[in-house]
Structure 1
Amino acid sequence: MNKFNRNEDFFERFISLNGSILVYKTSSSYQNIYVTERSKYEGTQGKFRMLQFSFDGIQGVINLEQPQALAASYSRITVDLINHYASDFNKGFIIGHGIGTVSSYYSHKHMVTAEIDPIVVEVSKTFFGHTGKNVFVGDGQALLNNQEPHSQDLIFLDAYSNSELPSHLTTKEFFTLTNEKLSDPGILIINYIGMIKNDKFLHTLHARISEIFPYLKVFATNSKKKTKQNLFLVASRQFLEDYSPQEATPIQIIGI
């Protein structure tokens, strides 16, 4: 039995215990890809369809009964932060497609998405209704490098391999590139899955970003949670005022 089959069997047993069903499964040169469904998500009843690369991570979710709504709290928090810190943005660049939730929400804007895995793009079209508009297949750093200097009002890093950010998208060189491509009032938003306390890489990430951007805010989905969760880092060359999103809490990153 190969590695994919072992992971597949474990995944199917795990999701069945959580009341989910497997709708579709495939693999690419980058990851295993699953489409699952369940009747309850984040305490809400509905018909929820999810894109997953592993049993412990969800790359995107829609409620098939309300497909235009933002079903996941992390999507609502992302939109909340964008609407507050970049309310009048014109051009945006997303690294990591998932099912295209954020790009679809801002379909009236000029939003480009970079996705390294072509199968993810196809799955988003087939099972989640994404149009594929302005989605380019390739490495996010390389595609961002092709953009004009200071042309982006928003850069959103939401790329994951299983539950971790690709390492080359967490370097000082990458953050220098984002700084070069952002407009003067532009913002960088990073969706990071980690812990508020005892997360050394969060401190490393915070330090690297702070070397490039003078203003940096961090928000937690649940400030009392001790295990991994969605954390949001917002960086800019311009002053970022204090803000408390409806479904997240600002936190301070102090020491190691």
Structure 2
Amino acid sequence: MNPFNRNEGLERHISRYGSTLIYKTSSSYQNIYVTDRSKYEGMRGKFRILQFSSDAVQGVINMEQPQCLVASYSRITVDLIDHYASHFKKGYIIGHGIGTVSSYYSHKYLLTAEIDPLVVEVSKKYFGYTGKNVEVGDGQALLKTQEAQSQDIIFLDAYSSSEIPFHLTTKEFFTLTNEKLSDKGILIMNYIGKVSNDKLLHTLYATISGIYPYVKLFATDPKKLSKQNIFFVASRHVLEDYSPREATPIQIMDIFPPLRD
């Protein structure tokens, strides 16, 4: 069976948005699509997009202005980092995509873990990624090799299709991030889900709050009923209240138990 037959919905999605399919392949982890289109989030340009499924965009770049942060979730991520860890020196990213965040902070030391070697290859060939600090392997296993309290930020942005791998949502994993962060270090997590009636969102909040004394949440649109980017920021250090330019602070009730190891 052709593995792409499992994702015919994405090909219809690509056609519906007037995109041109540039490249597609299948790895051991997911289907990988690269498309071009002339419009993205109301903007015009030559946009190139990486997707694993129709539910989410793993990365987008304007080929005419490659240094610009096109996707709102990328701008929100940078906004949160610049506010809560403006002077960070060393960081760790799980989930490479097209390398947007690591490229933006190319003057800093950011190590990225990416489990799929084909994603790294595609980022270089089709998106112009030139960074070298990418290690191929499981993000949790590679994070274990880092020294204790050595990271000023840890950014979790790992997705297989449209879901976070389960082992990166456990108490064991978040305990590990806490061990590797410096005293004033922050954990940032990009979660794609719903603000209301999302059991995993509540369970993640309970799990992370059980490890980190200070946790903030931000949503791109709190009134939206469908899935959207929701950001966790967690730290052992007090996190002041903040309203990013393109996101809104939200609060949720801790009504579900933490995830087990």
Q: TM-score, normalised by structure 1?
A: 0.98
Q: Deviations over 1:87-116 (max 9, x none)?
A: 000000000000000000001001000000
Match of 1:204 in 2: 203
Q: Over aligned residues, Cα RMSD in angstroms?
A: 1.0
Aligned pairs for 1:137-216 within 5 A: 137-216=136-215
Matching residue of 1:247: 246
Give the whole-Å Cα distance in 2 for the aligned partners of 1:106 and 1:164: 26
Structure 1 segments (4+ residues) deviating >6 Å:
none
Within the alignment, does 1:7 sit opposite 2:2 as a pair?
A: no
Residue 129 of structure 2 aligns with an amino acid whose one-letter code is H
For 1:17-36, list aligned pairs within 5 A: 17-36=16-35
Cα distance, 1:171 vs. partner?
A: 0.3
Q: How far off is 1:223 after superposition? A: 1.2
1:74 corresponding residue in structure 2: 73
How many Å separate the matches in 1 of 2:2 and 2:212?
41
SS in 1 for 2:210: helix
Task: List per-residue Cα deviations over 1:38-69 (Å, max 9, x = no partner).
Answer: 11111111111000001221100001111000
Q: Note the alpha carbon deviations across 1:206-233, whole angstroms, 9 max, x for none.
A: 0000010000000001111010000000
Show the counterpart of 2:51. 52
Give, in whole Å, the separation in 2 of the partners of 1:72 and 1:194: 17
Alpha-carbon deviation of 1:125? 0.2
Write the mapping of 1:102-121 to structure 2, written as runs, cut at 5 A.
102-121=101-120
Residue of structure 2 in register with 1:229 after alignment: 228
In the alignment, the residues of structure 2 paired with residue 246 and residue 154 of structure 1 have an alpha-carbon distance, to the nearest angstrom, of 21
2:247 is aligned with 1:220: no
CA distance in 2 between partners of 1:44 and 1:140 (Å): 34
Cα distance between partner residues in 1 of 2:209 and 2:148 = 20
TM-score normalised by the chain length of structure 2 = 0.96
Please give the alpha-carbon distance, in whole angstroms, between the structure 2 residues aligned to 1:226 and 1:132.
37
Structure 1 contact 121–132 (Cα < 8 Å) conserved: no
How far off is 1:13 after superposition? 2.4
Distance 2:171 2:254 in 1: 19
Q: Output the amino acid matched with 1:229.
A: Q
User: Are the aligned partners of 2:152 and 2:182 in contact in 1 as well (CA < 8 Å)?
Assistant: yes
